[in-house]
Amino acid sequence: MAVISVVSFFASSQVAFASAGQPDQEKWLSLCGDISSVGAAVMEARQQGVSRDAAMKAAEGNRIIEGLIETAYRAEIDPREENPQRDVREFERGLYQQCVRGAPFKQDP
């Protein structure tokens, strides 16, 4: 299942990031990219019919992944949308922007 491989990838990213200490801007933006990519994969899984419960089970208790799953399954999508990738891209972009806004360093205007 794609969700399981995404969970494994993200868990390894978290370990590497946590061991690095205080994040610099480059590391933070990289983490934001990882988070938004995982979110996009979760949204794709949702659109492919993976149930919320199955996705939560694959998260194996990872609270960040569970949060992304909750967010993806609460997000409104248009079932009539001819291009479901549009919803995935918008969701991914929104997660990235939200993450960058939460950065622990001063951002350039």
Question: How do residues 51-109 score in pLDDT, each as one tens digit?
Answer: 999 999 999 999 989 999 999 999 988 777 788 889 999 999 999 999 888 877 666 55
Q: What are phi and psi of 102, to 5 degrees?
A: -90, 10
Residue 30 CA from chain centroid, whole number: 12
Q: Which two tokens stand for residue 36?
A: 């938004």
pLDDT digits (tens, 9 = 90+) for 16-26: 455 556 568 88
Residue 107 is predicted with a pLDDT of 60
Residues 26-44: tens digit of each pLDDT:
888 999 999 999 999 999 9
Please report the pLDDT score of residue 102 as a whole number.
84
Give yes or no for a contact between 72 and 42, defined as CB atoms under 8 angstroms apart: yes
Return the pLDDT at 80: 78
| Whole-angstrom distance, CA of residue 14 vs CA of residue 18 | 6
**Does the reported pTM lie above 0.75?**
no
Domain boundaries defined on the chain: 2-101
Q: Is pLDDT larger for residue 103 or for residue 1?
A: 103
Q: Are 69 and 54 in contact (CB under 8 A)?
A: no
* Confidence grade of residue 5 (pLDDT, cut at 50, 70, 90): very low
Which pLDDT score, from 0 to 100, does residue 106 have? 63
